């Protein structure tokens, strides 16, 4: 009796998508991703379901399932689609210039698609475009005399700052929207009873000085880029590059 051969692992989403598509196919993974991203941008990621996407596309749910297996595949397509917005010109060179350009674009892209900051999964979704984004940054660090571990640690240090800062900015915007506050002044007015009590207690003199003297409280782009330059300065000094 011949033993049955055990089935191998299922092909990945990206392997399946690289197979030739049917001629003039109206429903494509790219179109599915575009519609899913539009729904998430308007209503949040929770609104993205296979049924909703099929409805938006005017097809039966089973038609969409011929391209994606479920929401995990759908998220991967969405992340890949949004990551395409991070591309920077080829004439941007130098490790610092490349990492800084990606950081600034990542913030802009995240603010345009805030659902990205509300999910931990996008950081770990492997897609061709995300891999290309990482490859470009690592290539900028390659050839500087760094070993593989140090190069990856430097890349991740910058990425960690970028994702942490943008997640905080998105969270603040969401908090303000939930309270109906449309500006920094309205937010401070809304928080004034708690903040005034705490500052007037005398226990936080440095924070009080900041509250009454800072001039860039409502300039998140400046704050983000200042912090980014601090991180890049630290990488440059520590590694001597």
Per-domain residue ranges for the chain?
Answer: 26-83, 90-239
Radius of gyration, CA atoms only, the chain:
23
- The C-alpha atoms of residue 131 and residue 80 are separated, in whole angstroms, by 9
Q: Give residue for tokens 């979704």.
A: 125
- Is 90-239 a CATH 3.40.50.720 domain? no
pLDDT for residue 2:
47
Predicted TM-score (pTM) of the model is: 0.86
pLDDT for residue 22:
53
**pLDDT < 50 stretches in the chain:** 1-2, 23-24
pLDDT for residue 209:
97
CATH class of 26-83: mainly alpha
* C-beta contacts of 108-113 below 8 A and 24+ residues apart: 109/82, 109/85, 110/166, 110/167, 110/170, 111/166, 111/169, 111/170, 111/173, 112/41, 112/85, 113/37, 113/40, 113/41, 113/82
202 vs 205, 206, 208, CA distance in Å? 6, 10, 9
């Amino acid at each position: 009796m011949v033993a049955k051969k055990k089935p191998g692992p299922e092909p990945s989403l990206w392997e399946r998508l690289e197979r030739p598509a049917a001629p003039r196919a109206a429903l494509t993974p790219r179109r599915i991703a575009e519609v899913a991203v539009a729904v998430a941008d308007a209503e949040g990621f929770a609104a993205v379901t296979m049924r909703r996407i099929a409805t938006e596309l005017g097809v039966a749910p089973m038609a969409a399932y011929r391209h994606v297996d479920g929401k995990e595949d759908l998220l991967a397509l969405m992340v890949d689609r949004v990551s395409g917005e991070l591309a920077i010109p080829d004439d941007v060179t130098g490790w610092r210039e490349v990492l800084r350009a990606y950081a600034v674009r990542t913030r802009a892209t995240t603010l345009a698609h805030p659902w990205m900051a509300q999910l931990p999964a996008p950081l770990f979704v492997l897609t061709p475009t995300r891999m290309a984004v990482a490859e470009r940054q690592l290539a900028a660090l390659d050839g500087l005399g760094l070993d593989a571990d140090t190069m990856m640690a430097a890349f991740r240090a910058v990425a960690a700052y970028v994702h942490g800062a943008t997640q905080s900015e998105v969270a603040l915007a969401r908090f303000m929207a939930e309270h109906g506050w449309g500006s920094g002044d309205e937010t401070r007015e809304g928080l004034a009873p708690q903040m005034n009590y705490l500052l007037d207690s005398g226990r936080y003199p440095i924070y009080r000085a900041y509250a009454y003297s800072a001039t860039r409280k409502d300039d998140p782009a400046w704050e983000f880029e200042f912090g980014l330059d601090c991180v890049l300065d630290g990488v440059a000094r520590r590694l001597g590059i």
